[in-house]
Copies of this chain bind each other. A is one copy, B any other.
Amino acid sequence: MYKQWLNIMLKSPLFYGMDERQLNIMLECIKPRVIKYNKDEFIALAGSNFIGIGIILSGEAMVVKENAAGNRVIISLLKAGELFGEMVAFSGKGKWPATVIAQEPCTVIFISPTAIVSQCEKLCNSHQLLIMNLLKILSQKALMLNRKMEYLSIRNIRGKISHYLLEQYKHNGKAMFTLSLNRNELADFLNIPRPSLSREMCRMRDEGLIDFHRSSIRINDLENLKAQVDL
């Protein structure tokens, strides 16, 4: 039943570090459900009962959420091997927080949270690995959200730019480096309009803080640049 999907599952971070044999034993132990969906079918419906952490085995699905205004907003796209529902699984809420819709025919495997934490009778030690992986996935998600928050909670544009450049500087270790995002992408990431980004960067150049041409950047006045970040 699970055989044909083993390779895809092994690529999921949930089963990271396992080999085929271990995964097989594991699956025998927790007996997850595999369900097929047609295009445009609901894989999960926001507000309805949560049935387990999902992994897309084949096909592609879209995660959408209704905001307070009732508009559907696309949260992300899920491809084969990707995970959903991991945040809500252990939160104590029993409902899906968002809707997942099949973009094409999909196969999805659902793993019930209780199966993950309960001692399996055979005491497979992959079980322990599974829990470790899950903890790691959740931790990293939280840390990632934390980093995004840092940018969003800086109120002024100059602060955001400075924060970003300093982070890149730390990462590269040199005063001169190349941005991996173009202006459009950077503006999106910082959640500001592109012309505002350009304008502010030029002002910063005029003031001697930085120098740039296209995507190559040099930090001229490190100390002053740091002073621009002020939450």
A198 at the binding interface (Cβ < 8 Å): no
Contacts of A113 in B (CB 8 A): 135
Q: How far is the CA of A24 from the CA of B142 in the complex (A)?
A: 30
Q: CB distance B149 to A152 under 8 Å?
A: yes
A117 at the binding interface (Cβ < 8 Å): yes
How many monomers of this protein are in the complex? Answer: 2
Smallest CB–CB gap between A166 and chain B, Å?
A: 4
Given the contacts A68-B162, A135-B117, A149-B148, A143 and B191 also touching, CB distance less than 8 Å: no
Q: CB distance B136 to A226 under 8 Å?
A: no
Q: Which of B88, B143, B231 contacts A97 (CB 8 A)?
A: B143
Tally A residues with Cβ within 8 Å of B: 52
Q: Which of A111-148 contact B (CB under 8 A)?
A: 113, 117-119, 123, 125, 128, 131-132, 134-136, 138-143, 145-146, 148
Contacts of A163 in B (CB 8 A): 67-69
A90 at the binding interface (Cβ < 8 Å): yes
Q: CB distance A136 to B68 under 8 Å?
A: no
A173 at the binding interface (Cβ < 8 Å): no
A27 at the binding interface (Cβ < 8 Å): no
Q: CB distance B135 to A135 under 8 Å?
A: yes
List 27 A-B residue pairs with CB atoms under 8 Å apart, sorted by A's residue number. Answer: A67-B150, A68-B162, A68-B166, A68-B167, A68-B229, A69-B166, A69-B228, A70-B226, A87-B139, A87-B143, A87-B146, A88-B139, A90-B132, A90-B135, A90-B139, A117-B135, A118-B128, A119-B125, A138-B142, A141-B142, A142-B142, A145-B145, A145-B149, A148-B149, A152-B152, A153-B191, A155-B191
